[in-house]
Amino acid sequence: MQNEKNELGKKELLSRVLKAFFSLTFLKDTLYTFSFHLLNRTYGIIKTNKGKNVKIRPNVLLRDPERIYLGDNTTLGTGNILWAGKESAVIKIGKNVMTGPSVKIFAFNHGVEISQTPMIEQATTEKDVIIGDNVWIGANVLIMPGCNIEDGVVIGAGSVVTKNLPKNSICAGIPAKVIKKR
């Protein structure tokens, strides 16, 4: 008797999984997600200004890529997002830079004024992000607009960079600050 109930439960579960898998919503979402990432990745890689021997790992999103510059021997880790300014702000990354997974670098931010205009429609602010040569950016680092990261900097995992970081320093924290010199 118990085996029959288990068998019915398994069949019911399988039926529900198959219905969900082949539902119109699932197929539509899968197609949208696939095409979004394929088009954004392809467009981003084609339009980004790259030096020699640049490695862009899977799931990297490059938005407004014509204003992104990657130096020779730079590696972008899996799941990175680089989003240049919508009008003019650039992201410039020097030579021999490596980023861990899920690094986010933004050269713009939305307005936050209290007004009749919804936040999503407010003007953005833009500032260049400049990253020097021989920089290591750890996993899950967030770099905000207007930051200048000089040559030889190491940024610890999970840090939030909100200001300039000096040459040959090891930085970490929220907000990131110098914890020692290299």
Residue whose pair of structure tokens reads 């990261």 in the numeric block: 149
| Contact present, 108 and 146 (Cβ < 8 Å) | no
42 membership: H or E segment, kind and range = helix 24-47
φ/ψ of 6, rounded to 5, equals -60, -45
| Contact present, 171 and 178 (Cβ < 8 Å) | yes
Residue whose pair of structure tokens reads 């880790």 in the numeric block: 77
| Contact present, 139 and 158 (Cβ < 8 Å) | yes
CA distance 18 to 37: 25
Closest CA to 157 of 140, 174, 171: 140
Active-site option among 110, 163, 167, 181: 110
Would residue 37 show up in a list of annotated catalytic residues for this protein? no
Active site residues: 110
